[in-house]
Amino acid sequence: MDKKIKEYISKKEKWRKELELLRSVFSNLPVVETIKWGAPTYVFEGKNIVGLAAFKSYCGLWFFQGALLKDKQKVFVNAQEGKTKAMLQWRFSSLEEIDKDLIKEYVLEAIENVRLGKEIKPDRAKKELIIPEELQQELNSNKDFKEKFKAFSNSCKREYANYISEAKREETRLRRLEKIIPMILNGAGLHDKYKNC
């Protein structure tokens, strides 16, 4: 047993038996067992199929593309109504509720969907870029600055715009603008030390 998975299950003392039983469903299936987001996750051909989790009042399985499954037994709930379209959860509040054969059917259907290329992709709605007045004035008056700013991804532009507009006082916004001008001229994103823009 993977050390991290063993650790996860041992920490969930209240649900240990249920988690071990749920985990046993995957032992003869063509999935890779790993830890993602701090919990056991089962992957097929690079795609997340099912996650295993325990909470205060239940333990359960997260089917990453659960909305694509037929769910003939009506076992799924959407734990994040309005936030997720694809991911659905199957909850268990006792060992007796766990039907390994039924779970295996659902997992095999999920694997088949991956083989067929079925997938619900998340909405990546474009967030509007709102340039604060101070930044817009600099863009209008400094051609080099404008060119460098234009080269950034929309998310990096938004980070800079938000950094200035989040300041309540005009002096703070101007101070922030002065701080970011050399960063933008050097092609550096606001949070480059944490990620790549």
Q: What range defines the domain where residue 11 resides?
A: 3-115
pLDDT of residue 193: 55
125: pLDDT strictly greater than 70: no
Please give the pLDDT value at position 196: 46
Calculate mean pLDDT across residues 169-193.
87
Same domain, residue pair 17 and 79: yes
- Residue closest to 107 by CA, chosen among 25, 187, 21: 25
Q: How confident is the model at residue 124 (pLDDT cuts 50, 70, 90)?
A: low
Average pLDDT of the segment spanning 135-158: 91
Q: How many CB atoms lie within 10 A of CB 153?
A: 11
Asked if residue 72 and residue 26 are part of one domain, the reply reads yes
CA gap 87, 134 in Å, rounded: 42
Closest-CA residue to 160 (of 181, 144, 137, 143): 181
Q: What are phi and psi of 112, to 5 degrees?
A: -60, -40
In sequence order, the β-bridge partners of residue 91 are 60
Q: Average model confidence (pLDDT) for the chain?
A: 89
Indicate the residue type of 61.
L
Residue 26 in any domain: the answer is yes
Rounded to an integer, the average pLDDT of 103-117 is 96
pLDDT of the residue at 126:
61
* Residue 123 pLDDT: 66
The yes-or-no verdict on residue 11 having pLDDT over 70 is yes
Residue where a domain stops, chosen among 115, 144, 176: 115
Same domain membership, residue 111 and residue 175: no
Cα gap 24→35, rounded to integer Å = 16
Query: Would you state the structure tokens that stand for residue 183, as one six-digit string?
Result: 């960063």
Residue 124 within a domain: no
Determine the residue type at 99.
D
Average pLDDT over residues 127-153: 90
Q: Which distant-in-sequence residues (6+ apart) come within 8 Å of 92 by Cβ?
A: 18, 22, 58, 59, 60, 98
Pairing, β 59-63 against β 39-44:
unpaired
Q: In terms of domains, do 27 and 110 share one?
A: yes
Number of domains in the chain: 2
| Mean pLDDT to the nearest integer, 121-139 | 82
What does the pLDDT average to over 174-196?
A: 82
Show the tokens assigned to 149: 């700013």
If you search the block for the tokens 């002065």, which residue do you land on?
A: 178
pLDDT at 139: 93
